[in-house]
């Protein structure tokens, strides 16, 4: 059984998409063992509880980045999401993780980002896309490396930018695709169908 830990800070809609995928049996041989948020008020914690998943608030309170990452690694490990064994999903997690933590979960930590990376890394990616005037936007699931939003790309999905789009409209169109893409990436990982060569992720049939 693949034990998954999900790190969140906000709404939790991607978390919920993964949970539903597991519940309906689309993702087999995996379960979400724990959901951890740096923000005790995050709606994602309520989403976890609603699905019967352990929800943990782990505030950073002035901790250094390293000290906070050590707390995270401890909480994950205690809940069965051990380095080299479990899978960590960043799902709207708004804290930057240090290299030491990234190394611990090397090749076993994913993130979802609402742009077609490497375009528009960082915050408000959808607004960045609109301001740039691109005609195609989208989302990316990638393995996490120390550099933000820069790791090997697992899956991408494009969506059109339509005349008259504002940040909300474009974000909603992208989010609908995120909810399909993240569960699919987890499913491929759980089935052992992802192989990384350098920065290229290959999908085994």
User: Which parts of this chain interact with ligand GRF (CB under 6 A)?
Assistant: 10-15, 44, 91-92, 112-114, 175, 178
Nearest-approach distance from CB 6 to ligand GRF, in angstroms: 9
With a CB cutoff of 8 Å and minimum separation 6, the contacts of 138 are 115, 116, 156, 157, 158, 159, 174, 177
Quote the least distance from Cβ 205 to ligand GRF, whole Å.
Answer: 27
Closer by beta carbon to ligand GRF, 146 or else 148: 148
Within the chain, where are the H helices?
Answer: 13-23, 43-50, 65-78, 99-104, 125-132, 167-190
Confirm whether 179 is a catalytic residue: no
Output the smallest distance, CB 103 to ligand GRF, in A. Answer: 22
Task: For ligand GRF, give the closer residue by CB, 8 or 188.
Answer: 8
- Least Å distance, CB 192 to ligand GRF, is 25
Which residue minimizes CB distance to ligand GRF? 92
Task: Identify the residue whose tokens are 């890394």.
Answer: 121
Kindly state the helix (H) or strand (E) to which residue 160 belongs, with its residue range: strand 153-160
Encoding tokens for residue 189?
């990982």
3-class DSSP state of 89: strand
Q: Which position among 113, 132, 142, 179 bears the catalytic label?
A: 113
Sign for the pseudo-dihedral over CA of 141, 146, 148, 151: negative
Q: Is 73 or 112 the residue whose CB approaches ligand GRF more closely? A: 112
Nearer to ligand GRF by Cβ, of 49 and 85: the residue is 49
**Residues identified as active-site:** 113
């Amino acid at each position: 059984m693949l034990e998954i830990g999900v790190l969140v800070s906000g709404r939790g809609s991607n978390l919920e998409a993964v949970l539903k995928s597991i519940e309906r049996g689309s993702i087999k041989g995996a379960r979400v063992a724990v959901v951890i948020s740096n923000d005790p008020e995050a709606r994602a914690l309520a989403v976890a509880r609603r699905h019967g998943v352990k929800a943990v608030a782990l505030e950073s309170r002035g901790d250094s980045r390293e000290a906070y990452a050590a707390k995270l690694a401890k909480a994950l490990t205690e809940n069965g999401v051990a380095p080299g064994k479990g899978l960590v999903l960043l799902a709207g997690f708004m804290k930057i993780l240090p290299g030491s933590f990234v190394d611990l979960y090397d090749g076993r930590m994913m993130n979802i980002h609402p742009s077609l990376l490497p375009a528009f890394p960082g915050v408000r990616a959808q607004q960045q896309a609109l301001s740039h005037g691109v005609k195609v936007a989208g989302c990316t699931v990638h393995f996490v490396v120390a550099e933000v939003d820069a790791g090997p790309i697992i899956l991408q999905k494009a969506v059109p930018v339509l005349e008259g789009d504002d940040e909300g409209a474009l974000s909603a169109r992208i989010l609908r695709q995120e909810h399909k893409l993240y569960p699919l990436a987890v499913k491929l990982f759980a089935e052992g169908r992802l192989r990384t060569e350098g920065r290229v992720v290959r999908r085994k049939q």
